[in-house]
Structure 1
């Protein structure tokens, strides 16, 4: 059965959030009006500010329930929780501003309101993260368990059990299997076989079950209706693993088309408008900052390229980008002048005679990539994403490497998850694609920040560049 404590815990979370908001109000009030750091004469009494803080707390809690912030997030990553925190407090703050305007209460300090909003997002994020870490550690030690029953002890059910056992911090314990044909599962190192699928109703009554996972073959799909009816009648959650799981990527999802639910075989977070907007805004801001900060270096490199070899400062090469559209990627020129046939169809090799001496330095330090920030501003590239390849090699790889073309479903990047893990230059294309696919299916803003930090921490030196 689903534990009744779930609703109680949601109410506790809401109460703690409300108390935290009032604490943050006191902190913002002290910093603004009493600390001496930002002391200003306050035209309004403390009681007015406190009253609006209470109103804001109520708005935030109600908004949290409306956007499902207080639903259980045991299976979710913290990036999802961070997104919900920002969503709740930005929406609540806009509602508060609307109320202040409506009642003509326009004398509240704008600096205080800014500190109040920032404090709510930062402090609640920190306390929620600490709480999530504490809960995960408690689950590893055996507390706060959820109990799972698996229907189907075939390869699919066993694989689910193995995968689930790799994540003890989620706090799930498999109480056993139901299967019409399997025998002696305990001898194979699995939980007990509790009976046959038709005994589900009896097992739910006898055992403490929170969730039922259906891992039956397609020929048993006629039983699904009865299984769902039994589970819902008992208040038990039911999850279904499709028998065609092996053909699906890591994160398929349900969508609705013409009133019919469909399975989209790949969940790409950047298909959502809000995620694309966030990533694009970050790309523009980061690229502008990078160009401004590195401008003296860009000028010095341009002079170095021009004075050490004949030809233009920049090298423009055709690459395949988002949705298989071709674009010209910019680099500082590191090679002697050559025909497009040679530059577009040949790999650079060690001690390549085409590379200039100054170009070798640029390649080893990845400084030749700096002009790609202009590609980002133009919208051809992103700061983080799979590296773009030349059309000649794309045509070759798409026939040789499974799922190679999936990387073109998002914008290519200056750096990426594969590159930050060492897959740059002369490294395995197959392994690089696996990293690219993981990034595409698991994108989040925090993931981008992590990749950028990891790239900077690893340094710009590329041992595999020639």
Structure 2
């Protein structure tokens, strides 16, 4: 038997116990301070105390439902604060709705409610930030570590070990390694279990490919009397996964290999972002659009807008709108010729519009329609989809989300003509990375980057 296992800080004070209590304290502290700022007094009327109790309960319920009190050790700080902000926004909307529908709006100060939510979020978020940063500092210096025993083929174990070292802030350390080849017999399983017992490992990670799944069952059964946590880390080899995660469907656990991140609250947040930001931008660019439309009409015959069918989310087709930048011409059936440098089909005003991306402005109407997003993979012509889906692996997985006016690929310089498979492959890699790592903050970052470097590009013609 090994030495007795000591508990880490986060095990002695688990977040699912500590932070619900602290969140309620943050709400009441925020309420009292907000009352002092608004009314100059710390004495709360009983109706304000009742409001704080309701807000505190809402925070606990929504935090619990969103999983904010779980995955403490391996949750990045930014993700933790982002999820907390969404919880506070949801609490604010719910509290405001309850006050409105109960006809109590005249009895509560809206400024007090706003101050309470802002202050309490700052306190709750600041506490999480300080604790997480302190723990990460301790772990990076070698403290608060959880020893892990790795089992699997040499290449898989090496890959996982490198991941542990590169994510030292998570606080894992390697307590032992068992390299295996092919199937193992009962004697080998017993030997592995004895090694795990002597290593004092808090966790056992079984790192094997799917074809060695029987080993997982055997080891899991052999460790049934051990208190170490057991994790299965499957090796997907060269599979290009998209938003992979565990889920439960029809009463069974499933490993999602390729799914859209736009579901549940994420879908609501994404659509809200498109409506709010899209509406504001549409109002601001209206005079510019009218000027461009007039310039197109006066300089070349033909319609102001160019309309073309594109493939949207989950393969649904829609008409994308652009300002016409070319002379009216007829393409061969089923063929789309990409614009090239010094292309004779491009009008003088069209060259300027394409170079500055102003020809894309009508797509904000597509956004408000709900057929596009402000940020997402750029929609390609249908003919290009047919051409590249057989040449570029996982090409069609970029259609798991709505196409966008701008995207991660575009702000990283991957605009313009894709005249080689390598260029398209590179663009698709950036698109899939965006889908796999989507967040509201990433969208806002891309929008800001688009303003500064996404409009004008040497490859746009």
Asked if Structure 1 and Structure 2 have the same fold, meaning a TM-score greater than 0.5 normalized by the shorter chain, the answer is yes
Q: Which of 421, 431, 434 does residue 429 from structure 2 map onto?
A: 434
**Displacement of 1:18 after TM fit?**
3.5
CA distance in 1, matches of 2:427, 2:181: 41
CA distance in 2, matches of 1:320, 1:99: 44
- Displaced runs of 4+ in structure 1, greater than 6 A? 99-102
Partner of 2:70: 71
| TM-score, normalised by the number of residues in structure 1 | 0.84
* Structure 1: gaps (5+ residues): 35-41, 183-194
Q: Is the 8 Å Cα contact of residues 60 and 92 (structure 1) preserved in structure 2?
A: no
Which is further off, 316-325 or 291-300?
A: 316-325
**Displacement of 1:333 after TM fit?**
1.4
Instruction: Indicate how the Cα distance of structure 1 residues 122 and 335 shifts in structure 2: closer, same or farther if over 3 A, else same.
Output: farther
Partner of 2:155: 155
Partner of 1:132: 132
Instruction: Indicate how the Cα distance of structure 1 residues 366 and 221 shifts in structure 2: closer, same or farther if over 3 A, else same.
Output: closer
Alignment of 1:94-105 (within 5 A): 94=94
Alignment of 1:299-314 (within 5 A): 299-314=290-305
**Displacement of 1:403 after TM fit?**
0.8
**Displacement of 1:217 after TM fit?**
4.9
**Displacement of 1:429 after TM fit?**
0.8
Instruction: Indicate how the Cα distance of structure 1 residues 347 and 100 shifts in structure 2: closer, same or farther if over 3 A, else same.
Output: closer
**Displacement of 1:96 after TM fit?**
9.9
CA RMSD of aligned residues (A): 3.4
What per-residue deviation string (whole Å, max 9, x for no partner) do you get for residues 54-86 of structure 1?
635752674345654322333234335522453
Q: Which of 347, 360, 374 does residue 351 from structure 2 map onto?
A: 360
Q: Which of 3, 6, 24 does residue 7 from structure 2 map onto?
A: 3
Instruction: Indicate how the Cα distance of structure 1 residues 460 and 133 shifts in structure 2: closer, same or farther if over 3 A, else same.
Output: farther
CA distance in 2, matches of 1:408, 1:124: 38
Partner of 1:59: 57
**Displacement of 1:174 after TM fit?**
1.8
Q: Is the 8 Å Cα contact of residues 2 and 236 (structure 1) preserved in structure 2?
A: no
Partner of 2:19: 13
Instruction: Indicate how the Cα distance of structure 1 residues 452 and 25 shifts in structure 2: closer, same or farther if over 3 A, else same.
Output: same
The alignment partner of 1:262 has SS state of strand
Are positions 1:458 and 2:453 aligned together? yes
CA distance in 1, matches of 2:161, 2:437: 22
CA distance in 1, matches of 2:97, 2:404: 38
Partner of 2:239: 247
**Displacement of 1:106 after TM fit?**
7.1
Instruction: Indicate how the Cα distance of structure 1 residues 295 and 57 shifts in structure 2: closer, same or farther if over 3 A, else same.
Output: closer
What per-residue deviation string (whole Å, max 9, x for no partner) do you get for residues 422-445 of structure 1?
111135110110111111222222
* Structure 2: gaps (5+ residues): none
Instruction: Indicate how the Cα distance of structure 1 residues 67 and 346 shifts in structure 2: closer, same or farther if over 3 A, else same.
Output: closer
CA distance in 1, matches of 2:258, 2:6: 30
CA distance in 2, matches of 1:54, 1:371: 46
CA distance in 2, matches of 1:196, 1:32: 70
Instruction: Indicate how the Cα distance of structure 1 residues 4 and 289 shifts in structure 2: closer, same or farther if over 3 A, else same.
Output: same
